[in-house]
Chain A
Amino acid sequence: MTQARDTFPPAPQDDDQYMNAPLSRQIPLQTSQQVTGQEPRLLAAGPDADWARHRETFGPWEPQQAGQGLLNALGASGLTGRGGAAFETWRKAMAAAGSRRKGLLAARPVLIANGAEGEPLSFKDRTLLAHAPHLVIDGLLALAAALGQTGSGGSGPKGTSPRGTSMYIYAQAASLPRVQRALSERPGGKRIKLVQAPETFISGESSAVVNMIANGTALPTDQRRRLSESGLNGRPTLVVNVETLAQVALIARYGAQWFREAGTPADPGTRLVSVSGPAPTRDVVLEVPGGAQLSTVLQEAGMEPAAVSAVLVGGYHGRWVRPAAHALSPVGPPGRTARPGAGVIHALDLNSCGIQATSRIVNYLAGQSARQCGPCMFGLPAMASVLNRIAAGETNPRLASELDRLGRLVSGRGACRHPEGTTGLISSALEVFAGDFRAHLSGYCAGPGGVAA
């Protein structure tokens, strides 16, 4: 084993795939589900479905007819958010609906479809918006109607708010024309306001979304009160991922039982995943059932699990896993479960150095700090700097403990979860690539040839 420093992977190029999200690339839709056996649900209407094909596939249906029944159905379905945090959608909706009853004047809720997808390795939301925008709009209208109607009833002096819930769709520039076209194809589309999301990592954070709509600045804000109590202009606000809304639209049409026919009892339904990996693997969006085996998903995307050294699951705020018998599920036995987060699955081949890959990601995350909060603004670059030194083969034994110390220092301290998301990634790297860390700190890179992808 050579001890030479020049066996380390070369410094990253400017067009590093970890830094730049290819914004306008067309992601091919993979509709054959040979390995997972899951029939398409979200993408059942096929590529680029217009209003006519959408209604042909899913049947005509009035989203505005959804009411309290929809919230009950969401509860029974067990749908969890598809934007990363995996909260029960029913619970989030009830929190916003419940806030309306407080106070003398029933505040009109705000519902925002979040398609910002600032994560460079994620492309399922823009794919969904490109091919099935009508399903997202159905979900938005249905949930808005359900929110607008609850909170009425005998508890307060005011009855049903006649004007209902305000609706927004928040997405990056490349998605807006298609969504605009979809809105103009259907009645009532004009009531939905489109807002452009900047191309930053944190632009999709819930309070940043509200801040952007209210003030034009997509930066997270300090929250003394939850958005469901007081968000946009002090109104109860729900920020829901576009895929979650598409699932809501399906549940509203076909019911909770139908939703649960796919997936597992702990992780019902389906989810979209953005799968990427080393060449020649092409980026692909797959719709997989809840609790799907990670190795199955890799195979579906054309990869051989044995040729994969590690997989990043969930995105840059996710975790590395060595794919063994991991099920993609928000809950499950540790060691056999990988939390899917926002559905990002990124495979590293055997020739790549996991530490190099992680350090590139952490450099990106440090650069994407909103620079509002001290622990993030200073802590993340400090961690990136230590990780870079380890990646470059510096043999100082205190580097690993320094990395650990900094991680524990910044966690939980900031207006948003950017710090703990980053430290979570680093701690998973320290765990999964423990051998590589030991090697680097001894002066060599353990990957075969030490050549990066």
Chain B
Amino acid sequence: MKTYLHIDWTSCDGRGLCAELLPGLLDRDDWGYPVARGKTGRERTDVPLRDADREAAQEAVFLCPKLALSLLERTAPEPEQRTTGR
């Protein structure tokens, strides 16, 4: 069971509180939105958390001004990617 920090990009406004609370995990891009350090693909949306990050992640979820963060528990990494499905 792994915990992920899920970023709802449709709500996120790049205010940067999460990047302050999880500085080793998140940086901010040119426009202020969070970038998961060293991650690619969907791990930038569902960011894997170490146990040490859990508490700070919960704080970030609580404080996010747009309620754009949530914690997800998954048994295995998502094999299926989002499709453009036309």
B:64-85 near A, CB below 8 Å:
70, 72, 78, 80-85
Residue from A220, A241, A373, A375 in contact with B86 in the complex, judged by beta carbons closer than 8 Å: A241
- B78 contacts which chain A residues (CB < 8 A)? 226
Interface residues of A in 361-409 (CB under 8 A from B): 372-376, 378-379, 382, 409
Point out the residue from A342, A374, A376 that lies within 8 Å of B13, measured CB to CB: A374
Query: Taking A411-B40, A412-B41, A413-B33 as contacts, is the C-beta distance between A373 and B84 under 8 angstroms?
Result: no
Are B86 and A114 in contact, CB atoms less than 8 angstroms apart?
yes
- A contact residues, range: 35 or more
In whole Å, how far is B17's beta carbon from the nearest beta carbon of chain A? 15
Question: Which residues of chain B have C-beta atoms less than 8 A from A116's C-beta?
Answer: 86
- B34-68: CB near A (< 8 Å → 1, else 0) gives 01000111111100000000000000000000000
Inter-chain contact A119/B86, CB cutoff 8 Å: yes
Q: Are A373 and B10 in contact (CB under 8 A)?
A: yes
Of the candidates B8, B29, B45, B80, which one forms a contact with A226 in the assembled complex, judged by CB atoms under 8 Å apart? B80
- Residue of A114, A118, A125, A221 touching B10 (CB-CB under 8 A): A221
B12 close to A373 (CB less than 8 A): yes
Indicate which residue in A205, A206, A374, A420 contacts B33 across the interface (CB closer than 8 Å): A374
A87 pairs with B83, CB closer than 8 A: yes
Q: A84-B83, A342-B86, A412-B45 are in contact. Are A373 and B31 (CB under 8 A)?
A: no
**Across the two chains, which residue of chain A brings its CB closest to B72?**
A224
A412 touches B86 (CB 8 A): no
CB proximity of A176 to chain B, nearest CB, Å: 17
Interchain CB contact under 8 A, A204 and B10: no
For B32, list chain A residues within 8 Å (CB). 374
Give the complex CA separation of A91 and B32 in angstroms: 38
In the assembled complex, the CB of B28 is this many whole angstroms from the nearest CB of chain A, namely: 10
Contacts of B82 in A (CB 8 A): 206-207, 223, 416-417
Contact status B29-A241, CB under 8 Å = no
Contact A421 B12 (CB under 8 A): no
> Chain A's nearest CB lies how many Å from the CB of B54?
18
B44 to chain A, nearest CB (A): 4
State which size class the interface on B falls in: 20 to 34
Whether B9 and A374, one on each chain, are in contact in the complex, defined by CB atoms closer than 8 angstroms, is yes
**For residue B13, which residues in chain A have a CB less than 8 angstroms away from its CB?**
374
Say whether A117 faces chain B, with CB atoms less than 8 Å apart: yes
- Binding site secondary structure of chain A: loop
B36 to A: closest C-beta gap in Å? 9
Q: What is the bound-complex CA distance between A220 and B45, given in angstroms?
A: 15
CB pair B35 A413 closer than 8 Å:
yes
- Which residue of chain B lies nearest to A116 when distances are taken between CB atoms in the complex? B86
Which residue of chain B has its CB nearest to the CB of A378? B31
Q: How far is the CB of A346 from chain B (nearest CB, A)?
A: 15
- Residues of A close to B12: CB separation below 8 A: 373-374
Bound: A116/B35 CA distance, A: 32
CB pair A372–B10 under 8 Å, yes or no, is yes
Task: Give the residues in chain A near B33, CB-CB below 8 Å.
Answer: 374-375, 413
Docked complex Cα distance between A270 and B32 (Å):
46
Known pairs A84-B83, A204-B86; A412 contacts B42 (CB<8 A): yes
- Bound together, the chains give a CA A418 to CA B80 distance in angstroms of 16
Residues A71-118 near B (CB distance < 8 A): 81, 83-85, 87, 95, 114, 116-118
Partner of B85 from A95, A241, A373, A374 at Cβ < 8 Å: A241
Which residue numbers of B lie inside 8 Å of A, CB to CB? Answer: 6-14, 29-33, 35, 39-45, 70, 72, 78, 80-86
List 5 A-B pairs, minimum CB-CB distance, nearest first: A85-B83, A373-B9, A204-B86, A374-B33, A206-B85
30 contacts between A and B (CB under 8 A): A81-B83, A85-B85, A95-B80, A119-B86, A204-B84, A206-B82, A206-B83, A206-B85, A209-B85, A222-B11, A223-B82, A224-B8, A224-B72, A241-B86, A317-B84, A373-B9, A374-B9, A374-B12, A374-B14, A374-B31, A374-B32, A376-B9, A382-B30, A409-B35, A412-B41, A413-B35, A415-B9, A415-B10, A416-B84, A417-B81
A-B contacts besides A84-B84, A85-B85, A415-B10, 12 pairs, CB < 8 Å? A87-B80, A114-B85, A209-B85, A222-B10, A239-B85, A315-B86, A374-B13, A375-B33, A378-B31, A411-B44, A416-B84, A417-B84
* Chain A residues engaging chain B, CB cutoff 8 angstroms: 81, 83-85, 87, 95, 114, 116-119, 122, 125, 204-207, 209, 220-224, 226, 239, 241, 315, 317, 342, 372-376, 378-379, 382, 409, 411-418, 420-421
